[in-house]
Structure 1
Amino acid sequence: MKILATLRARAGEQGMSTSEYAVGTVGACAVGGVLVKVAQSDFFNNFVTGVIQKGLELLPF
């Protein structure tokens, strides 16, 4: 009896993991889209270029 009650309780939650994965996937795609937009901006490009140039200036050759 106890096993049957446990199985019934779990059966009602089967779709929960699928919807949680869907929400997580949509959230990850949104964050990825924002990162792509930031990476394509002039500010980010100038920042990365400046960091690389400063790093190269520190090299002894």
Structure 2
Amino acid sequence: MAPRPRNRDDAGMATAEYAVATVAAAAFAGLLFKIVTSDQVRTLVTGIIDRALQLAG
């Protein structure tokens, strides 16, 4: 059996990985915000709420 490598101190992400992950998360949040605030989504959500209120009343 081959010897196992010694444990390295890779407990978390490196600074560059944090930067890439942060930029990716910000880009995804911006894209999601644009989608959710679009007229199509707003119309869809309003229609769902209107139908739910009509069923309840």
Q: Is the structural similarity TM-score above 0.5?
A: yes
Runs of 4+ in 1 over 4 A off after TM superposition: none
Q: Which runs of 5+ in 2 are unaligned?
A: 1-5
Structure with greater proportional helix content: 1
Give the fraction of aligned pairs with identical amino acids, expressed as a percent.
40
Distance in 1 separating the partners of 2:49 and 2:19: 38
Q: Which residue of 1 aligns with 2:50?
A: 53
- Equivalences, count: 50
Q: Which residue of 2 aligns with 1:23?
A: 20
Cα offset for 1:56?
1.0
CA RMSD of aligned residues (A): 2.1
Q: Which runs of 5+ in 1 are unaligned?
A: 1-5
Point out the structure with max Rg over C-alpha. Answer: 1
Distance in 2 separating the partners of 1:49 and 1:20: 40
